[in-house]
Amino acid sequence: MGVVSEQAESASVDADGYIGRIPVRNLWLLMLYASDLFRTRGIGNVGLEDSPDDLPDLVAEILAHAVEVRQRRRLNLGYRSRDAVLNRVRGRIDVLNTERHRLLDRGLVACRFDELTIDTPRNRFVRAALETISRIVRRGDVSHRCRSLASGMKAMGVSGDVPTRAQMSTDRFGRNDADDRLMVAAARLAFDLALPTESAGMSVLNLPDREATWVRRLFEKAVGGFYDVVLQPEGWRVRCGGTLSWQVDQKTSGIDKILPTMRTDVVLDHGASGRRIVIDTKFTSIVTGGWYREETLRSGYLYQIYAYLRSQVGRGDPLADCASGLLLHPSVGDMVDETVAIQRHHIRFATVDLTASPANIRAQLLRLCAPTPP
């Protein structure tokens, strides 16, 4: 069994579009599943599994269309803080600078005020996304369209200072700018699609497979995003990143500070069939070397999923009393799908082959939601 994380350490993009043994287009597919665009636009039904290499072109078209719509209605403005020396009071007076430079003697005053501007972090982020994705799309007309829109935003006064991810994470959509959601979601995915490359360019970016935490989170969000879009129309309820509480009978005063929190990656509920699947994603090999045998399941992961299931039994939730668990690992060419029933809970150990075709990856994920084989 190949260890995925070990593949990542020595991987590089070759001429055929692979990172190690994983096709770049499959990483693009995971990014799509993990993106807000997949949820907000519902583009999971476009048939991208048949032509994932067209994903950058599709995202570029969606982004360009969203920007054109916003430009027709005028891009949203925002406020930025400014310091200036004026001949009248605006905002608040900067008393220290006013006195230090004896500005009042010249009929001036130092002020601090908020100014309405189009050069907001959100608009700068979108402009940079247009410029970035224009370099990786295959269609010349789409690339030209993105560059033209970026130039138009520059002419409007949107600067080229790209905000960081941390700055964008604090961006909040109000009632009057909800139309920006699609535009920003497409911009985020456009940036992500530009990551898996080592070709020469203006920016230096880390390969996602060399950032273990980034790829692990990508795999987790991709699984949750895929099930959220694909299974909800079939009556499933999908929860991502929830927490479970312990059944505590007694406790000391300081236990709450040190008791670990149980946080699930994905929980699938199907009320009609009375099924619950608790999914925990891992970005390691599904098996490891054992003391007395060549390969064995990782005991810590088994204990973890067992705790997730048994800790919720007997609390008045019929779905929890017979819930099943799924430990889901990515793999490179190997396939594992084994099940064991422990105290009425079916626990499934499965892999998703990231070297398979995108259509096959989709089929693998859907198969794991089928009833557990006896």
- Beta strands 109-117 and 243-244 are unpaired
In 3D space, the residue among 27, 7, 4 whose CA is nearest the CA of residue 285 turns out to be 4
The set of residues, in sequence order, having a beta carbon less than 8 Å from that of 204 and lying 6+ positions away, is none
| pLDDT for 27 | 77
* Alpha-carbon dihedral 233, 361, 359, 231, rounded to 10 degrees: 0
CB 344 within 8 A of CB 361: no
| pLDDT for 178 | 67
Q: How many CB atoms lie within 10 A of CB 246?
A: 14
Taking 70 as the pLDDT cut, the residues of the chain under it are: 1-21, 40-53, 176, 178, 195-214, 290-294, 372-374
| pLDDT for 285 | 78
Q: Residue 74 carries which side chain, given as an amino acid letter?
A: R
CB 126 within 8 A of CB 120: no
The set of residues, in sequence order, having a beta carbon less than 8 Å from that of 59 and lying 6+ positions away, is 32, 37, 133, 186, 189, 190, 193
The model's pLDDT over 125-141, given as tens digits with 9 standing for 90+, comes to: 999 999 999 988 888 98
Could you give the CA distance from residue 16 to residue 114 in angstroms, rounded to a whole number? 51
| pLDDT for 102 | 92
Q: Residue 241 carries which side chain, given as an amino acid letter?
A: G
pTM exceeds 0.85, yes or no? no
| pLDDT for 1 | 40
CATH numbers and ranges of domains, the chain: 35-76+119-209 (no CATH), 79-116 (no CATH), 213-251+260-367 (3.40.1350)
The model's pLDDT over 78-122, given as tens digits with 9 standing for 90+, comes to: 888 889 999 999 989 999 999 999 999 999 999 999 888 888 888
Q: Residue 326 carries which side chain, given as an amino acid letter?
A: L
Q: Is the dihedral of CA 195, 198, 199, 205 positive or negative?
A: positive
| pLDDT for 150 | 93
Report in angstroms the alpha-carbon separations of 370 from 185, 188, 363, 373.
31, 32, 11, 8
Could you give the CA distance from residue 30 to residue 364 in angstroms, rounded to a whole number? 13
Token pair in block for residue 97: 């600078």
Could you give the CA distance from residue 208 to residue 5 in angstroms, rounded to a whole number? 12
Could you give the CA distance from residue 269 to residue 277 in angstroms, rounded to a whole number? 7
